[in-house]
């Protein structure tokens, strides 16, 4: 069970960082609804992707390892660039006051940060626990960390003001680069 918790925390690290950037971009006081929405999206994505990886991993293992990092990289960088563009707009009132905290931007970020969980799904039977139990633990840990990340981000966003959206965009781009570098250069 300790191995599963360590795996869950490791898989949730990207979701936590992305949730911090989402909370910072919102630039509001911590809000329960925002934290719940982001936590649910990230927790569901992180909990479901290992099931997908487990189910498809055996048949497509080689192909998944070859492209998962590129998919995550492209999605995170695209969202990060969009956040940078929104934060640089001349009329800040025209921009979404909480970019990436709802709709397709949130779903896309949740999926992008959980692609590595799909790859990890192939290894779940090695933990000696039922796959669904493992996926539930991963989803719950991610929900808790992502929800907490929104609160951390909104607190930081209030301190850094208008720059929060740009910083959130840079964080997402950095996450995409981290995933790409780990997989290309370190076999991550």
Residue pLDDT, tens place only, 14-69: 788 888 877 877 765 568 888 999 999 999 999 999 888 788 766 766 676 677 77
Question: For residues 114 and 42, is the Cβ–Cβ distance under 8 A?
Answer: yes
134 CB burial (10 A radius; 0-12, 13-18, 19+): buried
How confident is residue 143, by pLDDT bands cut at 50, 70 and 90? very high
How confident is residue 81, by pLDDT bands cut at 50, 70 and 90? confident
Rounded-to-integer distance, Cα 21 and Cα 57, Å: 31
Q: What value does the mean pLDDT take over residues 148-163?
A: 77
How confident is residue 84, by pLDDT bands cut at 50, 70 and 90? confident
CA distances from 29 to 12, 84, 98, 145 (A): 23, 21, 12, 18
- Whose structure tokens read 């569901």? 44
User: Where does 45-162 show beta strands of DSSP type E?
Assistant: none
Name which of 120, 115, 155, 148 is nearest 135 in CA terms. Answer: 120
- Tell me which of 51 and 186 has the higher pLDDT: 51
pLDDT value for 45: 94
pLDDT value for 176: 77
pLDDT value for 158: 65
CB atoms < 10 A from the CB of 131, how many?
Answer: 16
Mean model confidence pLDDT for the chain: 77
Rounded-to-integer distance, Cα 124 and Cα 130, Å: 8
Identify the top-confidence range among 67-76, 128-137, 177-186.
128-137
Collapse the DSSP code of 76 into the 3-class scheme (helix H, G, I; strand E, B; otherwise coil) and give the result. Answer: helix
- How many residues make up the chain in this entry? 188
CA distances from 144 to 127, 149, 152 (A): 22, 9, 12
Question: What sign has the CA pseudo-torsion 175, 180, 186, 188?
Answer: positive
């Amino acid at each position: 069970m300790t191995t599963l918790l360590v795996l869950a925390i490791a898989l949730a690290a990207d979701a936590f960082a992305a949730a911090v950037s989402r909370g910072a971009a919102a630039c509001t006081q911590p809000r329960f609804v925002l934290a719940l929405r982001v936590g649910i999206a990230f927790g569901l994505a992180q909990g479901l992707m290992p099931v997908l990886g487990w189910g498809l991993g055996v048949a497509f293992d080689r192909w998944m390892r070859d492209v998962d990092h590129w998919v995550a990289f492209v999605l995170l960088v695209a969202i990060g660039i969009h956040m940078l563009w929104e934060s640089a707009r001349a009329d800040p009132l025209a921009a979404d006051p909480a970019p990436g905290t709802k709709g397709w931007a949130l779903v896309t970020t949740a999926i992008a940060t959980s692609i590595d969980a799909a790859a990890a799904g192939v290894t779940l039977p090695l933990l000696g626990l039922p796959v669904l139990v493992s996926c539930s633990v991963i989803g719950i840990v991610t929900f808790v960390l992502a929800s907490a990340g929104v609160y951390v981000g909104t607190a930081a966003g209030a301190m850094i003001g208008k720059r929060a959206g740009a910083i959130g965009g840079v964080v997402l781009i950095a996450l995409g680069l981290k995933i790409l570098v780990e997989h290309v250069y370190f076999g991550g």
